[in-house]
Structure 1
Amino acid sequence: MTYITDKNIKNKDFSVKALDLADYENCNFSDCIFSGANLSGYNFEDCSFENCDFSNTKITNAAFKNVSFKNCKLIGLQFDECNPFLLEFSFDGCSLNYASFYQLKIKNTRFNRCTIHEVDFSETDLTKAVFSECDLAGAIFSCANLQKADLRNSINLVLDPEQNKLSGAHFSLDMLPGLLGKYRIKVD
């Protein structure tokens, strides 16, 4: 496989002409369109993506090792299908609506100012994850590990404390209705 390192890739539309299949290391992608593309089997290590559109991109067995996404559209991405080996990424100002992180081990992951509507975090290990200023409307947390996670500055969180591991997790008082919703308790 081809090895590409230290490249800045700007304003490319990979939904029309595919990105060269390669191992990408220390590359920066900005203002690129990957929407509907097939990135299955690609490897990205120490890469950054800024203002990129990945809507409905196929990422089966793609590797994301220390990858940052900033102001990207990641709608409908099935992160649970990517390569779990050394999987590590962060999200800043991204739209992750309808994505899936099902059963992934993504400890210490940072989600900053993200829209995370209807995202599946079922059985996901989010130990020490940080959700800062995120909108979690409709996000699914079922049998998730949120131990020592920080969700204090986020909104629209609904989860069942009996179905998730929450020891040491941080929540704000405003989140109390979302944590007690199953009990039909009204908090004023």
Structure 2
Amino acid sequence: MVDTLPAYFCIFAQTTDRLMQETYIQDKTFDRSDVPAQGEYESCIFNSCNFADGDLSGFKFSECTFNNCNFSMAKLNNTVFQDVTFNGCKMLGLRFDTCDKFGLSFAFADCLLNHTSFYGLKIKKTIFGNSQLQGADFSETDLTDAIFDNCDLAQATFDRSVLERADFRTAFHYSIDPEINRIKKARFSVAGLPGLLGKYGINVSF
């Protein structure tokens, strides 16, 4: 019995190593594919892939780029996004607040992010470019130094959010209460003043 133990552990270790190798994918391009196998993806590119209603729980994506992909209503429980870029993606109703919080970082360009939740996340310096964020939830979110470039924030929720030094100069349709949000040194355009004064019933003319 004693002699068989080393052999058993050797087989177990080899099997474990093989499984780990099978779930780690690097520098690969996926074109028009559905949800790939659960695992770790590093420096991969996903083009026109369909993740809608899929389960990405436990997946890890680092330094990946998603182009024109559909993520709408996908499950993101403990999903890892580190230095990830989304370009032209449809991302309706996502719960980013359920992602793995460690190292969470991403950027968005030309994306549909309506009714997504970023509740309670620390996503400093995040760039939202030319994207729709209608009805998005930024409650208690740390958006220090974030940039909202030409973004539609209609009915987006900012409640006890940290918006210090955030750039809203080209954003529109937002409503932010200065009394319940931290906006020190945040940047706004003159055209955006109604979004800051709405609760006071003040009419601003230009």
Check whether TM > 0.5.
yes
- 1:155 Cα deviation from its structure 2 partner: 0.7
Whose helix fraction is larger, Structure 1's or Structure 2's? Answer: 2
- 1:122 Cα deviation from its structure 2 partner: 0.1
Task: Supply the RMSD in Å over aligned alpha carbons.
Answer: 0.6
- 1:13 Cα deviation from its structure 2 partner: 2.6
1:34 aligns with 2:51: yes
CA-to-aligned-CA distance 1:150-171 (integer Å, 9 cap, x gap): 0101110101000100001000
For 2:68 and 2:202, the matched residues in 1 are separated by 42
* Aligned partner (choices 70, 89, 92) of residue 109 of structure 2: 92
- 1:135 Cα deviation from its structure 2 partner: 0.5
1:5 aligns with 2:26: yes
For 2:38 and 2:194, the matched residues in 1 are separated by 47
Q: How does 1:1-188 map to 2 (within 5 A)?
A: 1=20, 2-14=23-35, 19-188=36-205
TM-score (norm 1): 0.97
For 1:125 and 1:58, the matched residues in 2 are separated by 23
For 2:47 and 2:163, the matched residues in 1 are separated by 32
For 2:195 and 2:144, the matched residues in 1 are separated by 20
TM-score (norm 2): 0.88
Higher RCO structure (Cα 8 Å, ≥6 apart) = 1
5+ long unaligned stretches in structure 2: 1-19
CA-to-aligned-CA distance 1:101-139 (integer Å, 9 cap, x gap): 000000000000000000000000000000000000000
CA-to-aligned-CA distance 1:35-69 (integer Å, 9 cap, x gap): 00000000000000000000000000000000000
Q: Which amino acid aligns with 2:34?
A: D
For 2:115 and 2:30, the matched residues in 1 are separated by 27
The sequence identity of aligned pairs, in percent, is 48
Q: Which amino acid aligns with 1:136?
A: L
SS at match of 1:69: strand
Report the number of matched residues: 184
